[in-house]
């Protein structure tokens, strides 16, 4: 083919990727035992099979901070679980640190760790420190080293004054910080973070983001795969991002390049009164895609339009006003990662 | 090997913390003594009822059921101690995914967790026996020459129990509800058919066959022969001498160990395939 092979440097085949998947597919069988006879593709009614990952192919380099960005139910957690050897793929292959997740999980486990945000795991009767220490022992971290690391990390994550508190007395956020420390204390080469800042206050989230970024950038051979549905988080932290929706990877590139994909487009954001009909916006000439989100608290709708140029704005406004809806704000803005997502699927991330 | 040992140690430590650390140490000790003593009183009550109904009073019968019940403490706590590890890590502590993805043998981890239950049970059995001898007139005799056999039988009996417990654990990877029933039903089955409370000879023909098919029956019989040499309540297993029973126990512990590894592997594989390792059923 026409592709030129780069002269010199390492070809990718020499160095195994930290993570590599090929045609990775995961289908969850429906919940109910007695299933109505339907085709496997029909999974929307909640009882049929769900395709959580659909022929996912991706490569994460050693030393990369890689983000998976997608809305709820996109398949992010499923992918992380497969890579962390917790779940088997239905078909396709996945390699972590060069080992097959299905056939050879043990050497993978020696090199990875995982932290899931928004959950409250931990042994309530142990103290925070004991709990983390115990997990480090499963990885053979020498007790002294482990204790020193725990103390250091507790200072970093602001859990120092809770070091001897029983886990059952911790708040949800404090437990999450404890779990973060549990993830770092084993010093893995590949760390999977599933929504690490979910439910944390702004400061704690900030601290965690900074720590993760430093951890990857200041040391060699550390790889992080992070999932999030906060586009700002993905944008700020990640070297590369895969945008995932309904089990499919729609795009995978650096944040800058992803945003460049829609650089010729114009993004408009509107805040209006609740609308009766939003589907018709799609038929306006020059509208490439749009998203619509109702804010129940304020009784307003947020619209984001990806436009070829500014010409459809007048038509959009007139359709809004004919629905007797008032426009509260209209703003032309720089494209964000969410806009990239909207341009591809016509929905927002939230 | 060192990984196994390390895993076992840490898991045993965790199990011990959970078993003992829920209250003040002195309260824990008090509880550990009072609980088996309370159990002993229930036995006395049961015996009185039996004696009244049967209109007989046979001290050796009391010794029979007393020792049987004391050792039954091992059955309940070892089976439950292994089976509930998966259940509790999954549903209550929600730590199972992190334990599972760590580079350890989960099987050994379960054994470690159960070790503390075995230790607590051993203490309870000793307290029960001592209480029986001191206050309830249970006549026990243990000749020094029999100690090695008793210890060997103890180790093998616990091994069989642990293996059965892990089989249950393997199944509980897949389902939460039914295993709970099993974990309660199986000890009940053993209680009736293994010569714990009443001798095998009191069972109907088919019940005796069931009893003789369960290795624990032999364990109870051997233990009782050594600890209460005076009783001749039950002659069903008299054809087997001590060594034969030890061999039988050894063979069954091997069989159950193999079975537990297989069931555990299958359970683990199917759970990983179905995405059930870390399911919470809110059961
Ligand atoms: N154990 C399971 N059994 C059945 N279906 C499942 C299971 N786990 C996930 N799914 C389904 O797979 C799809 C992907 O779920 P997944 O948890 O990977 O999404 P996600 O991207 O992590 O979403 P979120 O942002 O909400 O965490 C969903 O439709 C979900 O319902
Ligand atoms: Mg998720």
* pLDDT computed for residue B36 by the predictor: 86
* pLDDT computed for residue A146 by the predictor: 96
* pLDDT computed for residue A32 by the predictor: 52
Ligand 1 pocket test: which of A50, A197, A225 has the largest number of ligand atoms within 8 Å of its C-beta?
A50
How many Å lie between the alpha carbon of B154 and the closest alpha carbon of chain A?
30
How many Å lie between the alpha carbon of A139 and the closest alpha carbon of chain B?
6
pLDDT tens digits for range A215-252: 999 999 999 999 998 888 999 999 999 999 999 999 99
Q: How far apart are CA B147 and CA B139, in angstroms?
A: 17
CB contact under 8 A, B14 and A88: no
pLDDT tens digits for range A54-95: 999 999 999 999 999 999 999 999 999 999 999 999 999 999
A123/B contact by beta carbon, under 8 A? yes
> Whole-prediction pTM value?
0.87
Flag whether pLDDT at A3 surpasses 80: no
A124/B contact by beta carbon, under 8 A? yes
Helix, strand and coil content of chain B, in percent to the nearest 5, comes to 80, 0, 20
Other beta carbons less than 10 A from residue A204's beta carbon: 19
Kindly list the domain boundaries of chain B, sorted by start residue. 2-274
User: Which residues of chain B neighbour A122 with C-beta distances below 8 Å?
Assistant: 93-95
Flag whether pLDDT at B29 surpasses 70: yes
Flag whether pLDDT at B99 surpasses 50: yes
CA distances (Å), A85 to each of A103, A111, B124, in order? 10, 12, 40
pLDDT tens digits for range A32-59: 544 444 444 444 455 689 999 999 999 9
pLDDT tens digits for range A143-195: 999 999 999 999 999 999 999 999 999 999 999 999 999 999 999 999 999 99
Residue B153 · residue B222 · CB < 8 Å: yes
**B230 or A254, which is more confident?**
A254
A143/B contact by beta carbon, under 8 A? no
* pLDDT computed for residue A74 by the predictor: 94
Q: How far apart are CA B1 and CA A164, in angstroms?
A: 32
Q: Ligand 2 (ion): which residues have CB within 5 A?
A: A 77
Residue A312 · residue A273 · CB < 8 Å: no
CB contact under 8 A, B3 and A140: yes
CB contact under 8 A, A109 and B93: no
A169/B contact by beta carbon, under 8 A? no
Terminal CA-to-CA distance of chain A, rounded, Å? 41
* pLDDT computed for residue A195 by the predictor: 94
What is the CA angle B91-B96-B100, rounded to 5? 155
* pLDDT computed for residue B263 by the predictor: 95
* pLDDT computed for residue B237 by the predictor: 72
Cα radius of gyration rounded to whole Å, chain A:
23
* pLDDT computed for residue A311 by the predictor: 87
User: Which residues of chain B neighbour A86 with C-beta distances below 8 Å?
Assistant: 97, 100-101, 272, 277-278
How many Å lie between the alpha carbon of B2 and the closest alpha carbon of chain A?
10
Q: Which residues of B touch A (CB under 8 A)?
A: 3, 6-7, 10, 13-14, 17-18, 21-22, 93-95, 97-104, 272-275, 277-278
Residue A242 · residue A68 · CB < 8 Å: yes
Q: Which residues contact A152 (CB under 8 A, 6 or more apart)?
A: none
- Max avg pLDDT among A24-28, A324-328, B90-94, B215-219: A24-28
- For B143, phi then psi, to 5°, come to -85, 145
Q: What residues does A93 pair with on adjacent strands? A: A22
- For A304, phi then psi, to 5°, come to -125, 125
Domains by residue range for chain A, with CATH: 17-30+46-257 (3.40.50.300), 264-334 (3.30.70.260)
Min mean pLDDT across A136-150, A208-222, B78-92, B103-117 is at: B78-92
Q: How far apart are CA B165 and CA B162, in angstroms?
A: 5
pLDDT tens digits for range B219-252: 988 888 888 876 666 777 777 788 888 898 899 8
Ligand 1, residue A71: give the atom nearest the CA: 25
* Ligand 1, residues at Cβ distance < 6 Å: A 28, 50, 52, 70, 72-78, 229; B 275
CA distances (Å), A113 to each of A19, A101, A224, A311, B9, in order? 14, 14, 10, 51, 21
Average pLDDT in the B269-275 region? 93
């Amino acid at each position: 083919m026409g592709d030129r092979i780069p002269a010199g440097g390492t070809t990718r085949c020499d160095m195994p990727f930290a993570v590599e998947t090929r045609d990775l597919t995961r289908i969850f069988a429906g919940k109910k035992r007695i299933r109505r006879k339907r085709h496997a593709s029909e999974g929307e009614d909640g009882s049929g099979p769900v395709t959580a990952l659909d022929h996912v192919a991706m490569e994460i380099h050693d030393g990369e901070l890689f983000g998976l960005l997608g809305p709820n139910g996109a398949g992010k957690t499923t992918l992380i679980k497969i890579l962390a050897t917790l779940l088997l793929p239905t078909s396709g292959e996945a390699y972590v640190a060069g080992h097959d997740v299905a056939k050879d999980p043990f050497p993978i486990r020696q090199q990875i760790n995982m932290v899931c945000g928004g959950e409250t795991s931990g042994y309530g009767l142990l103290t925070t420190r004991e709990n983390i220490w115990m997990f480090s022992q499963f990885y053979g971290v020498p007790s002294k080293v482990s204790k020193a690391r725990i103390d250091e990390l507790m200072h970093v994550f602001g859990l120092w004054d809770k070091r001897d508190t029983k886990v059952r007395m911790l708040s949800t956020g404090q437990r999450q910080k404890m779990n973060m420390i549990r993830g770092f204390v084993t010093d893995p080469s590949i760390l999977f973070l599933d929504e690490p800042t979910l439910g944390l206050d702004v400061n704690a989230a900030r601290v965690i983001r900074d720590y993760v970024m430093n951890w990857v950038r200041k040391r060699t051979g550390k790889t992080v795969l992070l999932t999030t549905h906060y586009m700002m988080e993905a944008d700020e932290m990640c070297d590369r991002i895969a945008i995932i929706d309904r089990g499919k990877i729609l795009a995978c590139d650096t944040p800058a390049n992803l945003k460049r994909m829609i650089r010729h487009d114009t993004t408009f954001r509107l805040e209006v009164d609740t609308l009766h009909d939003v589907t018709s916006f799609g038929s306006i000439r020059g509208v490439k895609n749009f998203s619509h989100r109702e804010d129940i608290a304020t009784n307003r709708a947020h619209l984001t339009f990806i436009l070829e140029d500014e010409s459809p704005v007048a038509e959009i406004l007139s359709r809004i006003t004919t629905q007797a809806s008032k426009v509260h704000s209209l703003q032309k803005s720089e494209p964000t990662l969410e806009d990239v997502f909207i341009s591809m699927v016509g929905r927002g991330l939230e | 090997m060192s990984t196994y040992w390390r895993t076992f140690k840490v898991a045993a430590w965790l199990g011990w913390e959970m078993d003992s650390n829920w209250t003040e140490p002195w309260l824990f000790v008090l509880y550990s003594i009072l609980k088996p003593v309370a159990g002993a009183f229930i036995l006395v009550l049961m015996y009185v009822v039996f004696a009244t109904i049967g209109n007989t009073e046979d001290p050796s019968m009391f010794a029979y059921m007393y020792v049987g019940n004391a050792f039954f403490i091992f059955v309940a706590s070892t089976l439950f101690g292994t089976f509930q590890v998966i259940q509790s890590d999954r549903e209550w502590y929600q730590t199972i995914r992190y334990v599972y993805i760590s580079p350890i043998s989960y099987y050994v981890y379960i054994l470690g967790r159960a070790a503390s239950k075995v230790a607590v049970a051993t203490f309870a059995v000793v307290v029960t026996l001592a209480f029986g001898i001191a206050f309830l007139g249970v006549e026990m005799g243990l000749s020094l020459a029999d100690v090695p056999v008793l210890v060997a039988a103890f180790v093998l009996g616990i091994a069989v129990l642990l293996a059965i417990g892990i089989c249950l654990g393997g199944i509980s990877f897949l389902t939460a509800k039914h295993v709970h029933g099993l974990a309660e039903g199986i000890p009940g089955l053993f209680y009736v058919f293994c010569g714990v409370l009443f001798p095998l000879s009191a069972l109907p023909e088919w019940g005796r066959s069931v009893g003789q098919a369960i290795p624990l029956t032999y364990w109870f019989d051997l233990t009782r022969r050594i600890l209460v040499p005076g009783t001749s309540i039950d002659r069903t297993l008299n054809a087997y001498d001590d060594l034969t029973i030890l061999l039988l126990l050894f063979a069954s512990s091997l069989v159950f160990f193999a079975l537990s590894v297989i069931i555990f592997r299958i359970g683990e594989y199917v759970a990983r395939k179905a995405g059930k390792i870390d399911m919470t059923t809110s059961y």
